[in-house]
Amino acid sequence: MESNIVWHQASVNKKDSRDKNGHHSGVIWLTGLSGSGKSSSANRVNQKLFERGIQSYILDGDNIRHGLNTDLGFKPEDRKENIRRIGEVAKLFADSGTIVLTAFISPYQEDRARVRDMFVKGDFLEVHVECPLSECENRDPKGLYQKARTGEIKGFTGIDSPYEAPESPELVLQTNAFSVDECAEQLISFLEKKSWL
């Protein structure tokens, strides 16, 4: 890191923002295969938090690649950098008193662990959006699995690139067994138990 760069201490800190908002802040990191329901779950939870007056924001994989990470591809090193950048952005949001919902495949355990290490204990919640590969392929909302199966897309997670499921996530949402609304309620209930809300 450049030695002439010094962190500027803000006059309003994370505790100030949390006190003003009346709720905890941190990141809820939703990870899972493409088509597992990460974005759908994040959006439903975000809507429910908004209705309760909670300050929250979604960082979604596709949306981020339209702007901040438009220069990155899908090679392992690009995926690693993608997740690093998202972690840094999520941390800034959390420091502002916001509950951040992220929806990223984030296939590698090491990368997710690195993001967790950016946060103080209790400010990072890993949520495995669990859904069998066969069901994700049946849903195939973007037609990506079909392209991967025909060789149009190379290095697709779950087909010819690995997905390392979380070993001990804070929460598992089984989107093949529960509806989007039910999964959202499970996550909201979990946040209440954790005294985030």
- φ, ψ for residue 76, nearest 5 deg: -50, -40
Q: Both tokens of residue 104?
A: 């990223």
Angle value at C-alpha 190, between 185 and 191, nearest 5 degrees: 100
Known catalytic residue at 106: yes
How far apart are alpha carbons 197 and 187 in whole angstroms? 11
Q: Is 41 annotated as a binding residue?
A: no
Q: Is 36 annotated as a binding residue?
A: yes
113-117: Cβ within 8 A, 24+ apart: 114/83, 114/84, 114/87, 115/27, 115/29, 115/83, 115/84, 115/86, 115/87, 115/90, 116/29
How far apart are alpha carbons 128 and 186 in whole angstroms? 13
Q: Is 22 annotated as a binding residue?
A: no
Q: Is 67 annotated as a binding residue?
A: no
Q: Is 173 annotated as a binding residue?
A: no
How far apart are alpha carbons 187 and 67 in whole angstroms? 28
Type of residue at 40: S
Q: Which of 40, 41, 106, 161 is catalytic?
A: 106
Beta bridge partners of 30: 103, 127
Q: Is 35 annotated as a binding residue?
A: yes
3-state percent helix, strand, coil for the chain, nearest multiple of 5:
40, 15, 45
Binding-site residue set: 32-39
Residues that are catalytic:
106
Binding-site residue set for ATP: 32-39
